[in-house]
Structures are given as structure tokens and as C-alpha cells.
Amino acid sequence: MPSDLYGEPSPEEGLPEPPPPEGPGLFGFDDPPPAPAAAPAPPPVIAAAPAPAKPAPYRVLARKYRPQVLDDLIGQEALVRTLRNAFARGRVHHAFLLTGVRGVGKTTTARIIARALNCVGVDGKGGPTADPCGVCPECVAILADRHPDVVEMDAASNRGIDDVRELREALRFRPAQGRQKVFILDEVHMLTEQAFNALLKSLEEPPPNITFILATTELRKVPITIRSRCQTFSLKRVPEERLRGHFQNIAAKEHASLEEGAVAMLARAADGSVRDGLSLLDQAIALAGDSGAVTTESVRDMLGLADRALVFDILEAVMNADLPLAMQRMAEGHERGAEPLTIMQDLLEQTHMLTRFAAIPALAEDMGLPENERVRGAALAARLSVPMLTRAWQMLLKGLEEVMAAPDRRAAAEMVLIRLAHVAEQPTPGEILKRLESGGAVPAGGGAPAPGPNGGGVRMVAGGGAVAAVATAPLPTQWREIAAIASAANQALLHAHLLHDVHPVRIAPGQVEIRVRPQAPRDLGAQLKALLEERTGARWTVALSNAEGEPTLAEQSRAAETDRRSAAQSHPIVQAILLAFPGAQIDTVRDETVDEYGLKPIIRDEEPDFPEFAPPEAESAGFDLPEED
């Protein structure tokens, strides 16, 4: 039996293998040990829940709902129609100038035009269109503000000539990606004069693949040379009714509800600006919280407004001279958080509305106005006249400036209400005139002056289809009084001639004798005569003379100033000051007792004026003259 090298039988011989050892050998088991008992299975691996995705950054409503196509622009129908026709006929201008108040869509329109010029359509083969697709690479890049051929510049911060030179340098290169290079210059009125001049030639003769779009809120500050080279579009303020509907639609998309009073306040506060209104709507929705219900009261508190009924109450109270009620309602508005300045602005707005109702009663039937304003406003306007309302408007307008400048705005607003209530019972100038014409008594506050010895009193002057009441003063007897009449009549040129070119010779009631200088107008005497008769109601004679006369009023003023300066300079205290401060000079000498011409005031003689001599036809006074020796 063959065996291997060590004498062991070979397994190839088919002999049975020896039984496995009962235990481990010196080096352990020759074969793998039997498998141990099955270990318990590991616990199943549970997949971790995915980490919550980061919420997308919030986009304000003004950006989220920014118009993407021309049809999204609200309140700009004329602009949309013109641009559509221009694209349809291939008559797109190379330079546009968009003007309008903030937030009406100037920059948005510029971006829509840029996309319309560069859109290639869904299939990549389209041309310029008024309806850009929004999905082609050109539209997507412009929407993302990363298109290399659409350049937006803020002229407020890039206003110098160097910035415009860089822009002109960029005009030399063809579009890198799109069909047309578009340069959008926002707030273009901020450019300097040199920058405008540098831009002028480029606007006049741009390369064929260049389009300029300028935007401004101050059209008057844009030079006419720039405007004449652009196609100008004036974007209008959006009407309140359009804003109300727009805000309601957006609120519905944002799962919020707006009360009618709330949306009316927001639309009114927007003042025609869509962006301003959406910013306010954003704030109002945030204020509403989880409920999403935007109430009138919350918007009023947010804007610091007074209730419209409260404003009506205040206006009605002052117009009825009921000052306690007006002050009480004013205090209630202040407690609610309404700003005094806002109340004054609301009073101005209501006064304007009432004046329109009083002037055009048919406006009370306008269904576009809130019912409360139509009904209550029309009833109040029916009791007030247009002159009363225009007087209240002027007082409120002046009071608004006072409230803005006052350290205590509430006190200033109350002073305005006090004045309004005080004059409410006073007649208007037109009513005073009617009473004077009819011979009635002058209303409370001013009795009719009695006629004076030299024609003083009340007289009626008719001219030009108008009648005016003059409370006339005594007839002037001094040349400066005559010059002052011309000044009060706002005849500046005539007053200047009377001041510098006239030497008074003789002045008496109803008579003027003067010597005029050659530079005076030839009809100066006729002008002076007409003015005196119009202003005094008396007949006047103006005669020209060759007599030397007195110095002109300007010469008298200069002489008086010289005398005052000499007197001041000779004063011991002034001399001591000049000596203590070498080089000091007298600047101005003021005398509070002089009139506007620098002359001492006129002191009238209480005794009646008598002629210096009796006329030849005068009769004897009853005594004889002494006989000559």
C-alpha cells in the first residue's frame, strides 16, 4: 500500500479517512470548528428622517408680484398700447424716457422692454416681441439680473462724467449674448451737467444694436436736449379703485382677508404708488398674524390715521364754531394714536372734497366715493359756501406748515382749530362787500368808519367788472405817502420811478407838482394821476414843473442814513469801541422810529389847512387894513 513520505496512506488510494479527533490538537482543530450557535440578529437599521429643508428666503410682496409682462402693468394703458403697436410694426425707438412718481413701474417697464427686445421664444427662433416668453435663456437671464447685455446703472451714485465715459466705451462692443444691448439709467436727473453733455451724442446716434432706457421722477431736471432725443412716457399714478382691487387680489393669494375700510386706507396711503401700497399691505398682513384678517382698526393704528368720521366731526365742529366739540374730538384722536400732522392733512383733504361738492353738486352722485363721504360730505357742503371753504383751505394750508415746524405739534394743531372756529362766524370779504353795497351795517368786528375831513371813509370803486370797497385814509400831503400808495398797489416799476426819478415841487390834497428826470417814462404823470384817483377816490391834478424841487426820495433816504451814521460814529461809546478794537467798522445803523424810506414819521398838524393867501375874489373878513401914512 503506497504511502506518502511520512508513511501515511495516501488519500488518493480511496482509503477511509480517519475519524475526526475528539479534541483539539496541539495547534487547534485541523478543520474549522463547528459553527457556533447563531448570534442574535442585529437590530434593523432605521433610516434617519431627512433634515427639514431650509425655508426659502421671504420675498416682499412688491418683488413677488412685480409685473413680468406688459399686461401686468396696471393703470398704464396708454403706455402698453403704444409699446405693443411699436413692436408689432417694428418701430421700436432706440431711447426711452420713463417718468412718474415712485413705485408706478418705471424700472419694471424698462426690464420688460429689455426682455421684449432680446426674447428668442420657446423654440429659440423668435424675434422681438411685446410678449416675451419668460422661459428662453435670454428672458431667464434678464429676470435673474445676470444678463451680460442688460446693464442697470443708478445715476444717483454713478453721476459723474467718468461714469458716462465708461458707458460710452461699452457702446463700442457688440452684444455678448443677446440680440440687443440695453442700458437702463435709473434716476437719470441726478447726472451732472457734464455727464449729460457726454451722454448727448450717444443718445442722438447710437449703434444699431443699442437701446437706452432712462427713468426719472424729476422730468423737469432732465435737460430738454436729452428729452428731445428720447421717446417719453409719463407713467400715471394708479387710481385708488384700481389699487383696491389689486390689493384684494394679492391678499387672496396670500391667504389674507382685507376689510373694505382697511383696503381703502391702504389705497389712499399709497398715493398712486403700487410699490408703496404693497409695502404697506405687507406690513398689514404681518400685523394680522396667523389669522390673516386685516381689519380697519389695525390699519388705522398702523398708519397713525384718524377715523374718517372723526375728521368729519372736527371739521363740522369748527365750521359751526363749536370749539369745545372740536377740541374734544381732537383729544380723542390723539388718544387713539393719530398724529396731529395727519389730522391736519386729513382736514385739508376733506375741505378739498367739500369744496368740490359745493362747487359741483353732481359729484355727490359719484359711486366711486365711499358712501359715508358722499352722504355726509354732501350734506355739510350744502350748508357751506365756496368762499368759506376756500378760506378754511388757506388757513389749514398755513396751519400745516406751522404744525410741521412747531416743537409741540398737538398745541399747534389746536391753535389752528381755534382760528378756524373763530373766523367761522365772521363773514367773508364778499359778504362784507354786499352789505356795504346795500347800505347795511358792517358785520361784528369792524364798524363802518366815519368820513374824514379830507375824504376819509368808505367808498365804492368799480372797474373791470368788479366792485371793491376801500376804507380810505386822508388824502396824502407828503411825497413819501404818494410813493407808499404805489408800493401798496404792487406797482413796483412805478414805485421805483417815484423813488429815484422824481423831484417833488409841491404837494397838496388833490394836487401834485413834480419835476421828473429824463430817464422817467413820458406818461409817468398820467400813471400817477390814475393811481391816485383809483386809490383815493378823489380827483387829482398832476403837473410837471421845471422848478428845482426837493431831492428825490432815494436821495433823502441816503442823506438820512448818512446823518444817522455820522451821529452814531460821533457817540462816545461807539468811539470807545472803535478805539478798543482797531479795524472795526460800523456796519448798519438801525432806527426803529423811521419809516420804510428811512425817514422820520410824518406828524400831521391838528389845525385845518388854510391857503397861504386869499384869492382875489375873496370877500372882506370884516376888518379894515391900516391906512398907510
Give me the pLDDT at residue 25, please: 46
Give the model's confidence band at 353: pLDDT under 50 very low, under 70 low, under 90 confident, else very high: confident
Give me the pLDDT at residue 37, please: 53
Q: Where are the domains of the chain?
A: 61-234, 240-302, 304-429, 468-578
Asked if residue 164 lies in contact with residue 195, where contact means CB atoms within 8 angstroms, the answer is: yes
pLDDT over 60 (residue 93): yes
Cα–Cα distance for residue pair 463/67, rounded to 1 Å: 59
Maximum Cα–Cα distance across the chain = 213
Between 44 and 287, the higher pLDDT residue: 287
How many percent of the chain have pLDDT more than 70?
78
Place of cell 405817502: 481
pLDDT tens per residue across span 293-305:
899 888 888 887 6
Instruction: Give long-range contacts, CB 8 A cutoff, 24+ apart: 553-558.
Output: 553/479, 553/480, 553/483, 553/498, 553/499, 553/500, 553/502, 553/597, 554/499, 554/500, 556/597, 556/599, 557/597, 557/598, 557/599
Give the model's confidence band at 551: pLDDT under 50 very low, under 70 low, under 90 confident, else very high: very high
Cα–Cα distance for residue pair 93/182, rounded to 1 Å: 12
| Average pLDDT of the segment spanning 465-484 | 69
Collapsing DSSP states into helix, strand and coil, what is residue 579? helix
Query: Which three cell numbers mark 137?
Result: 435663456
Give me the pLDDT at residue 28, please: 44
Between 107 and 20, the higher pLDDT residue: 107
Between 93 and 622, the higher pLDDT residue: 93
Give the model's confidence band at 110: pLDDT under 50 very low, under 70 low, under 90 confident, else very high: very high
Topology annotation, domain 240-302: Helicase, Ruva Protein; domain 3 (1.10.8)
C-alpha angle 27-28-34 in degrees, rounded to nearest 5:
155
pLDDT over 50 (residue 568): yes
Secondary structure E strands in 159-229: 181-186, 210-216
pLDDT tens per residue across span 306-332:
677 788 889 989 998 889 999 999 998
| Average pLDDT of the segment spanning 521-543 | 90
Lowest mean pLDDT among 23-37, 114-128, 248-262, 387-401: 23-37
Give the model's confidence band at 170: pLDDT under 50 very low, under 70 low, under 90 confident, else very high: confident
Stated pTM of the model: 0.55
CATH 2.60.40 fits 468-578, yes or no: no
- The one-letter code for the residue type at 367 is M
pLDDT over 90 (residue 439): no
Beta-carbon count within 10 A of 318 CB: 28
Between 361 and 391, the higher pLDDT residue: 391
pLDDT tens per residue across span 22-66:
544 444 444 455 555 555 565 655 555 565 656 667 888 988 899
pLDDT over 60 (residue 6): no
Cα–Cα distance for residue pair 457/454, rounded to 1 Å: 9
Q: What is the CATH number of domain 304-429?
A: 1.20.272.10
Give me the pLDDT at residue 201, please: 83
CATH 3.40.50.300 fits 61-234, yes or no: yes
How many percent of the chain have pLDDT more than 90?
31
Q: Are strands 181-186 and 150-154 parallel, antiparallel or unpaired?
A: parallel
Q: Which residues of 63-84 are buried (b: 16+ CB within 10 A; e: fewer)?
A: eebbbeebeebbbbeebbeebb
pLDDT over 70 (residue 615): no
Q: Is 343 exposed, middle or buried (0-12, 13-18, 19+ CB in 10 A)?
A: buried
Give the model's confidence band at 438: pLDDT under 50 very low, under 70 low, under 90 confident, else very high: low
